[in-house]
Structure 1
Amino acid sequence: MARTVIIEAPGGPEAYKIVDRAVGEPGPGEIRIRHHACGLNFIDVYQRAGLYPLAMPHAMGMEGAGVIEAVGEGVTHLKVGDRAAYASMPPGAYCEARVMRAAQVCPLPDGISFEQGAAMMLKGLTTHYLFRRTTPIAKGDTVLFHAAAGGVGLFACQWAKSEGIRLIGTAGTDEKCQLALDHGAEACINYRSGDWVAKVRDLTGGRGVDVVMDAVGKDTFDGSLDCLRPLGFMISFGNASGPVPPFSLATLGAKGSLKITRPTIFTHIADHATCQQMARELFDKVLSGDVKIRIDQRFSLEQVADAHRALEARETTGQTVILP
């Protein structure tokens, strides 16, 4: 049996409950992992609230790190006793142990702790696909990144600096702006202190940025388009302020023949070999010191609701882990 956090119907943080669940043995292509730490992400909020519907009842949580306890037939990249970490569908990481598909579970290097592993997989692999797999971004290009002091944001600030990419961030307080600067952002704008679009334009000499990476959604979408140079690329990859309303494609033409995409990490990591390669490149960034994992909040399984309240209130910085 393993303590597992579930929801029985969409709702607020109070919808969470802890149950004891049988774990069982892995089948072909599966592993059983005992968690040492689990990660917290905004996608967990979307799933809990029903924005991303799940069959109910459902276990929750998208990433974790721990030790492999059992390996099913056909699994060759992991063995019993291996340290491992993952970000993967379906949800179910908020638990002591689980059986799951092995394809997206990755061997965790000894130089990375379980807490770091649990805190880095979804956000780090997201950063990987944003900078390496979505549109070409070259040394010297300029990226606008919203919520630059958040979980993915601090990864992005460091990743950009390590590759010579100019990153302009936005954040909601001067303290969060300083945090982004400390992690490698070239500039960071407090969006509560004035016209952030005008400030981005000033910082780029009126040209606009090459790429916008926007996980905020509704509140920043229109302004993000206005920050792009002609032929610039908009990556909308989240909805922290709510879903982006419908808009006319003609708007993209009128604003400079802009390009836009709405990617998800799960498309990028669906192929086993691709996922493992992305993870190795992410681990290399961390082991080299180019990307440091900052864990600012820790909660127990019993405190999952509190963790979600803090995340939704934008009271968190860096990474948050849940400890079984």
Structure 2
Amino acid sequence: MSLAVQIRQPGGPEQLQIVDVPVGEPGPGEVRIRHHAVGLNFIDVYHRTGLYPLQLPATIGMEGAGVVEAVGPGVTHLAVGDRVAYASHPPGSYCERRVMPAQCVCKLPDGISFETGAAMMLKGLTAQYLLKKVRPVEGLEPGDHVLFHAAAGGVGLIACQWAKHLGLQLIGTAGTDDKCRLALANGAAHAINYRTEDFVARVREITGGKGVKVVYDSVGKDTWDKSLDCLRPFGLMASFGNASGPVPPFSPAILGAKGSLYVTRQTLFTHIATRESTQAMADDLFAVVLSGAVKIHIDQRYPLAEVQQAHRDLEARKTTGCTILTL
């Protein structure tokens, strides 16, 4: 048996209930993992509220780190006793132990702790694909400006550091002066408090009126329209989340009027659809973390029993950097 956090119906944090669930043996292509720490992400909120529906009852959570307890037939890249970390479908990481597909589970280098591994996989792999793969049609070169919303969040702080490492001029937005200072301390070239400043005007000022080549936006509804106004001609609007709610329908003609813009809606799970792509992305993430160019900030830790409060704080935007649940 294993303690796990389940939802029986969509709703608020009060729907997160700790229950005992049976844990069996891994089947073909599966492993059983005993978690040491679990990552908290906004996608967990989407699952809890029903924005991304799950078959209920469901254990939620997409990210964790721990030790392999058992290996099913056909799994060759992992062995019992391996230290591992993952970001993976299906949801279910909010638990002590689980059986899951081995495809997206990666060996964790000795120089990276379980807590760091649990905090970094979903957010770090997201930053990796955004900066390395989701690029405007004209490409990105050192010195180019990009706009990154929620720059003091888990993905944002990793992206600030990684963008600086790549020579990009990242303009970050955040909702408080303290969060703006945090983004700057982690490599953002500029930071804009969107509650007190017009971020479109500031982006135009910073870029000499040109606009940015790409906007990376996990906020959604609240930032969408203004983000389009921050782009230069042929720029790319890269949506990868809906923290403020889904983007409402819009006419494609707007994209032509604003400069023949491109729009994409990305999700990590397309990028890690194969064992090979998952490992290649993880290797890139591990290397940049082990080099010290990117540091993983775990700013909040909650025992598994306090998962409801963790969700309340995340939704209230009281958190910065990464958040983990400890076991």
TM norm structure 2: 0.98
Letter in 2 for 1:285: V
The reply on whether 1:144 has 2:119 as its aligned counterpart is no
Deviations 1:140-181 (A, max 9, x none): 221100010011000000000001011000000110000000
Return the offset for 1:137: 2.5
Partner of residue 277, structure 1: 280
1:63 aligns with 2:31: no
Is residue 252 of structure 1 aligned with residue 263 of structure 2?
A: no
Q: What residue number does 1:21 align with?
A: 21
1:287 aligns with 2:286: no
Matches within 5 A, 1:150-161: 150-161=153-164
Cα displacement (A) at 1:105: 0.3
- CA displacement 1:40-72 (0-9 Å, x = unmatched): 000000010000000100011000000000001
The reply on whether 1:239 has 2:245 as its aligned counterpart is no
Q: Distance in 2 between the 1:15 and 1:270 partners? A: 30
Question: Which secondary structure does the structure 1 equivalent of 2:238 belong to?
Answer: strand
**1:73-132 CA deviation, whole Å, 9 max, x = no partner?**
111111000000000011100000000000000000000000000000000000011011
Structure 1 Cα separation of the partners of residues 283 and 243 of structure 2: 29
Q: Distance in 2 between matches of 1:142 and 1:130?
A: 14
Whole-Å separation in 2 of the counterparts to 1:67 and 1:153? 28
Q: How far apart in 2 are the matches of 1:138 and 1:239?
A: 28
Secondary structure at the counterpart of residue 217 of structure 1 = coil
In 1: Cα distance, 2:282 partner to 2:169 partner = 24
Aligned residue for 2:287, secondary structure, equals helix
What SS does the corresponding residue of 1:299 show, helix, strand or coil?
Answer: strand
Could you tell me which runs of 5 or more consecutive residues in structure 1 were left unpaired when the two chains were aligned. none
Match of 1:89 in 2: 89
Paired residue for 1:8? 8
SS at match of 2:292: coil
Give me the whole-angstrom Cα distance separating, in 2, the residues matched to 1:169 and 1:18: 37
SS of the aligned residue for 2:309 comes to: helix
Q: Kindly indicate whether residue 302 of structure 2 is the aligned counterpart of residue 296 of structure 1.
A: no
Q: What is the CA-CA distance between 1:194 and the residue it aligns to?
A: 2.4
> Is 2:228 the partner of 1:221?
no
Amino acid at match of 1:300: P
- Distance in 2, matches of 1:131 and 1:138, equals 11
Letter in 2 for 1:152: V
Root-mean-square deviation (CA, aligned residues, Å) is 0.6
Aligned to 1:199: 202
What TM-score, normalized to structure 1? 0.99
Structure 2 partner of 1:171:
174
Runs of 4+ in 1 over 6 A off after TM superposition: none
Deviation at 1:138, TM superposition (A): 2.2
Q: After TM superposition, list the pairs within 5 Å mapping 1:306-321 onto structure 2.
A: 306-321=309-324
Distance in 2, matches of 1:139 and 1:79, equals 41
For residues 68 and 138 of structure 1, the distance between their equivalents in structure 2, rounded to whole angstroms, comes to: 41
Counterpart in 2 of 1:41?
Answer: 41
Give the Cα separation in 2 of the matches to 1:165 and 1:195: 22
1:110 alignment partner, SS class: coil
The residue number in structure 1 matching 2:117 is 117
> 1:195 Cα deviation (Å)?
1.3
> How big is the shift at 1:139?
1.6
